Chains A and B, each alone.
Chain A
Amino acid sequence: MADKTEPLIESALFISSSPLSVRRLKGLTNAEREEVKKSLESIRKKFSDGSHGIELCETTEGYELRVKPEYLEEVSHLTPYSDLSRGQLKVLALVAFKGPIRQSDIAKIIGNRAYSYIKDLEKRELIRTEKHKRTKKLEITNNFKSYFGIEERQDLEEKLEETLGGNIFDRLMEDG
């Protein structure tokens, strides 16, 4: 009988709406850790091929199947469910376009809920924090760049200017 581990892992990754850790997959398949890892590597290789629109990603919370960044824009309207809440996205946007930015400045704009959003984003390694006097300074990470499929932060700023137009862009990017 053919080994069911890999197809089982593949179907688990497909149906789950949140990342799955190796430990969870191990429990699900009753396979050894090494075997789970081998299956994940095989799935990753299979989907990395240009003929597939999805890929296997390893995040801080585990593994998940995602649409490849190059196709995301064209298909994202088909599902309203983003893996970042509107509040988290607001905080992330401020860090991306205004970073390094102080945590206290974000809280002034977003309100006290900003602290829990910051914690979530830090856990997902999309931002990093550094102690700064009595507050923290926030910056985006390389993980952020790979999440949005950009090389440099400047790429995002160009997109921002293109989308909003020069005047609004200048006003939003003003200091303070």
Chain B
Amino acid sequence: MKEQEILDFASTEPNWEETLDWIISEEGIDPWDIDLIELSNAFSKFVSKWQKFNFTVPARIVIIMAILLRIKVELLMWEERDQKKPNEVDIQELDIDVSDIPQLDAPKKRKPVRKATAEELIEAFRKAFETQERREKRKSRKERRVREAMPIDGQTEDIEERIERLYRRVDGILENMKEGKTTFSDLLPEWNRVEIIKNFSPLLSLNQDGRIVAEQEECFDDILVKMGDIDG
């Protein structure tokens, strides 16, 4: 189903321009032939399955659908304008028996499809490399942004050490608490992006090992943390 393919493509490609380019030029799909109802149904299924906080993909798809809708509307308006010709003659008034008029069949023309040429193959090769270079640049830009967002103060930290530190903190807090549970936010010295990232993987690791039990009752709620069955 091409609508599903469009959705899959739009959710992996970085921008809506590339998606539209892919729809029209690479896949040769006629933009007037895309069922927008199917596309929006597939989109709502996709969004309900996702349950992740990322507006980039839905926004991109909304733009794509809006552009496709505009293309269709323009075509319909053009057809309507064409139909409303001035001085149109009502055939009923002419008193002509239309059954006498022989039906005209326009000669069928073939859509000439040809083989690709060696020049096109060479051009495709050059473009493939351009695509690769673009992807690599995009990747390094992303990595740079991550590095900038998470300065490591010029030194690396042992993940094992970070896990043990978090475990000691959980143990220390719960020792003095009657309910025997705390929250992830209480474990952090400060609630900011760097601290969350630094402590989230150790939390998952401790949970995986059974040393703590981490639970989240609702999406985006704070994570409840209890001591696990496994000590040490």
Contact = CB atoms under 8 A, between A and B. Distances in A.
A16 B109 CA distance: 10
Interface size class of A (residues with CB under 8 A): 35 or more
Interface stretch (B115-123, B175-183, B185-193): B115-123
A26 interface: no
Binding site secondary structure of chain A: helix
Contact of A109 (B12, B116, B117, B132): B132
A93 B128 contact: yes
Binding site secondary structure of chain B: helix
Contacts, number: 107
A156 B128 contact: no
A130 B180 CA distance: 58
B231 interface: no
Contact of B125 (A83, A97, A147): A97
Contacts of A8: none
Contacts of A73: 117, 119
A111 B116 contact: no
B118 A87 contact: no
Interface string A71-97: 011011011011111110110111011
A14 B116 contact: no
A81 B125 contact: no
Interface stretch (A32-40, A43-51, A157-165): A157-165
Contact of B122 (A14, A75, A149, A163): A163
A155 to B, nearest CB: 9
Given A17-B112, A82-B113, A97-B125, 8 more contacts: A15-B108, A79-B113, A89-B120, A90-B131, A109-B135, A150-B118, A164-B122, A172-B125
Interface of B: 9, 12-13, 22, 25-28, 108, 110-122, 124-129, 131-132, 135
13 contacts: A69-B115, A72-B114, A83-B115, A85-B27, A89-B116, A92-B116, A92-B121, A93-B125, A93-B128, A94-B128, A109-B128, A111-B13, A112-B12
